[in-house]
Amino acid sequence: MSDKGYVHSEVLVSTDWVAAHGNDANVRLLESNEDILLYDTGHIPGALKIDWQEDLNDHLVRDYIGKDAFEGLLRKLGVSNDTTVVFYGDKSNWWATYAFWVFQLFGHTNAKVVDGGRQKWIDEGRELTREKPAVTVSNYVAQERNDAPVRALRDDTLAHQTAGKPLVDVRSPAEYRGELLHMANYPQEGALRGGHIRGARNVPWARAANEDGTFKSAADLRAIYETEQGLKPSDDIVAYCRIGERSSHSWFVLKYLLGYEKVRNYDGSWTEWGNAVGLPIER
């Protein structure tokens, strides 16, 4: 990959790298999309599907799967403990970074993201297939889930807000202002109140992406987050959106591309905050 000045450039791979190494024995490509039907219409050869609803979320409690379910999932995907997992997806990789983030809850740090995701692969005229690769079930051993380093819960976020620490609301300006409860052209549901967490700065997640779905250079990202918003690498930051998927993209940008050490994703986000009694909201 070309050098864009990232602090941890090793977490990104190019489409050229995928074309050369996607079928390596120690690599597993995983496609994670907002549109869960896209994979079946055609995917990168060798890729398997991660369904963010079915695979990563608990089906009863609003939470993520536990250790045993994660272990079972990765065994089914043929991922061993030394496999390099490479994520990509639609919408400039926002669901790919979400899956990447969930994997970090279990300490699976041998993970990367395809810069540009599904869109760039297709735009370059590269091969898609409907054929699902054969999988040999692995003997993956999962770690206990450890949310604290990368995840903020409601009470964590309230304490963070009360202390005046920086919050980044990555939703659209209309959602931030309370005019919409979700992105435009999506069902306006999920919260009883619109607005944003008191004191949060609005930095829409998509500003970090180029038109081809790739991430902007570190210099361009610093111009947004540091010059414009006044953030700095030593800050303790919580990012949020509506359900945590868009904010996982911004979390990835801040943590890995810009090297911020203290960044957490509040996945409860607006569907929790906007429904909770008594929490501080601004418009």
Question: Are the C-beta atoms of residues 229 and 223 closer than 8 Å to each other?
Answer: no
Backbone phi, psi, residue 13, to 5°: -130, 155
The rounded distance, in Å, linking the Cα atoms of 12 and 26 is: 17
Specify the amino acid at residue 23: N
List of residues 6+ apart from 174 with CB closer than 8 A = 180, 184
Among candidate residues 152, 168, 208, 241, the one labeled active-site is 241
Instruction: Return the closest-CA partner of residue 200 out of 147, 279, 100, 97.
Output: 279
Question: Cα–chain-centroid distance for residue 238?
Answer: 14
Q: How many CB atoms lie within 10 A of CB 137?
A: 11
**Is 278 among the residues known to form the active site?**
no
3-state secondary structure 170-234: CCCHHHHCCCCCCCCCCCCCCCCCCCEECCCEECCHHHHECCCCCECCHHHHHHHHHHHCCCCCC
Looking up tokens 């669901």 gives 95
Counting every residue written for the chain, the total comes to 283
Catalytic residues: 241
